[in-house]
Amino acid sequence: MIFAAGRAEAAIYTRGQIIPPNAKGSAVPPKPPTGAIPRAARRKAQAGGKSGALTYEELARRIDRARLKGAGKTLEPRVKRVVMSYLQSAQTHGLPLKQVVTELANGQAAWRLGGAVRDAILQQPPEAVKNAACGQGCAFCCILTGGDGGLITEAEARRLHAALTPLQGEVDGRAWHPSACPALNPDTRACRVYDARPTICRSFLSTDAAACEANANGATDQGAGLLGSHLDYLFVQSLCRQALKGITQVSTYSMAQIAAAALDGQDVEQALARARHRSKTLDDTAQDAARAAHI
């Protein structure tokens, strides 16, 4: 189930930050440059893009040409607009192209932009959010049936691993339930690395705690699902993968495996290698979410 479709236009990237929507809910764009981009900023941006023939203009063309299977006629142009806004703002402010490519590839851009859409939804919360049954200690959504735990990007995987590594040797969520997220405190069922939790955790919502408990035991009851902003996050990352094909690798990872690896003493590179998804997992996950939202 997908609650409340997100509005990617609310997410504008500028100077490494997200500008929230204005009072009317429309995007607040970065202040347009007056005249040409300053020479120093232009040189700084070009300095990051000397690998091969890639330029800001070529990257924009790649984004425009990409096709997002399963996104539909509404979501695809919306996702392209928000990524183009990110790209235009980064160029305006002289960010090195190398840094931009890195953020697109490792999922930091998808995390920021998806988060901004989520924040926009929560400013005018739909009924599902107002009637949410979620609360600390109600951790049935953290029982990771299937073993994968959800798709996360490289940036999220590294943050999660870094946050959990200091907790090595402590009893974790698997002491409460064998399939529980290792990040849980087994006594309180609260997340021990709440600030580092990935987008999948930030997007989950339920209006029926009993449905969550039943689903954790194999049922398919209605009442639990994801905020619509998760669609934007997934398809932004899918778009980045297509646009960067032949330039750099864009991988996704199993949240459950990254968390377990951190607590079991694996270093981050070893954990990433073992938790890396097959290349089709991202597109399959995005398309499944779109079907759930009836797009």
Tens of pLDDT along 133-170? 888 888 999 998 777 899 999 999 999 999 999 999 99
Mean per-residue pLDDT over the chain, rounded: 84
The pLDDT tens digits of the residues spanning 89-103 come to 999 999 999 999 999
Whether 185 and 292 have beta carbons less than 8 Å apart is answered as no
Domain boundaries, the chain: 1-23+39-295
With 50 as the cut, is the pLDDT of residue 263 above it? yes
Summarize pLDDT for 60-119 with one digit per residue, the tens.
Answer: 999 999 999 999 999 999 999 999 999 999 999 999 999 999 999 999 999 999 999 999
For residue 230, give the 3-state DSSP assignment: helix
What gap in Å lies between CA 12 and CA 244, rounded to an integer? 21
DSSP 138-200: --GGGB-TTS---EEEHHHHHHHHHHHGGGTTS--GGGT-TTB-TTB-TTT--BTTGGG--HH
Q: How much is the pLDDT for 1?
A: 58
Burial tier of 32 (Cβ tally within 10 Å: 0-12, 13-18, 19+): exposed
Q: pLDDT value at position 52?
A: 55
> How many Å apart are CA 191 and CA 292, to the nearest integer?
27
Inform me whether the pLDDT recorded for 248 exceeds 60: yes
Q: Is the pLDDT of residue 22 over 90?
A: no
pLDDT number for residue 2: 57
What is the tens place of the pLDDT at every residue in 226-242? 899 999 999 999 999 99
Q: Of all residues in the chain, what percent carry a pLDDT higher than 70?
A: 82
